[in-house]
């Protein structure tokens, strides 16, 4: 993960997001996956501050590792991802359009997990915050 900057903040956030197909239907075959990946990267043109780090799928769900600024909520990012991929896949594949007959393509829920730096390292860092001001060099503890 890179440290990224906005005009008044610096952030380093990555999220592992997983969502499934409605009714766990197994339609994400290799040829559908190719179009799904294209669709996800097309979304990045609309949101240039988002960065997709990894994409993978099974036949009935999608795994995504993504970075985006803290100005976006996780729920709004997931909504955009699911909405635009659904539109693109329906346009591209008539069998998907027919399978869901106007209903939603993706299940309503999702899983999200933050991906961060070593937790022990952060705890040490927080514990030692005041030490640097006292003139004690603790930089070797974080190497």
Q: What is the pLDDT of residue 32?
A: 97
Tens digit of pLDDT for each residue in 26-66?
999 999 999 999 999 999 999 999 999 899 999 999 999 89
3-state secondary structure the chain: CCCEECCCCEECCEEEEEEEEHHHCCCCCHHHHHHHHHHHHHHHHHCCCCEEEEEEECCCEEEEEEECCCCCCHHHHHHHHHHHHHHHHHHHCHHHHHHHCCCCCECCCCEEEEECCCHHHHHHHHHCCCCHHHCCCCHHHHC
Q: What is the pLDDT of residue 125?
A: 65
Q: What is the pLDDT of residue 9?
A: 87
Average pLDDT, the chain: 87
User: Cβ(71)–Cβ(6) under 8 Å?
Assistant: yes
Enter the pTM of the model.
0.80
Tens digit of pLDDT for each residue in 94-126?
999 999 887 889 999 999 988 776 656 666 765
Tens digit of pLDDT for each residue in 61-86?
999 989 999 999 999 999 999 999 99
Q: What is the pLDDT of residue 37?
A: 96
Q: What is the pLDDT of residue 86?
A: 96
Residue boundaries of the structural domains of the chain? 4-116
Q: What is the pLDDT of residue 84?
A: 96
Q: Does domain 4-116 have CATH number 3.30.9.10?
A: no
Min mean pLDDT across 5-9, 26-30, 139-143 is at 139-143
């Amino acid at each position: 993960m890179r440290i990224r900057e906005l005009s008044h903040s610096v952030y380093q956030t990555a999220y592992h997001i997983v969502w499934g197909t409605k009714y766990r239907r197994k339609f994400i075959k290799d040829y559908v996956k190719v179009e799904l990946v294209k669709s996800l990267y097309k979304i990045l043109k609309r949101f240039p501050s988002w960065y997709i780090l990894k994409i993978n799928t099974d036949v009935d769900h999608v795994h995504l590792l993504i970075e985006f600024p803290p100005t976006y909520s996780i729920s709004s990012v997931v909504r955009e991802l699911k909405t635009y991929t659904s539109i693109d896949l329906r346009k591209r594949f008539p069998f998907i359009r027919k399978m869901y007959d106007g209903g939603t393509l993706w299940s309503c829920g999702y899983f999200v997990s933050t991906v961060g730096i070593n937790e022990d390292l952060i705890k040490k860092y927080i514990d030692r915050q005041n030490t640097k001001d006292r003139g004690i060099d603790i930089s070797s503890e974080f190497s």
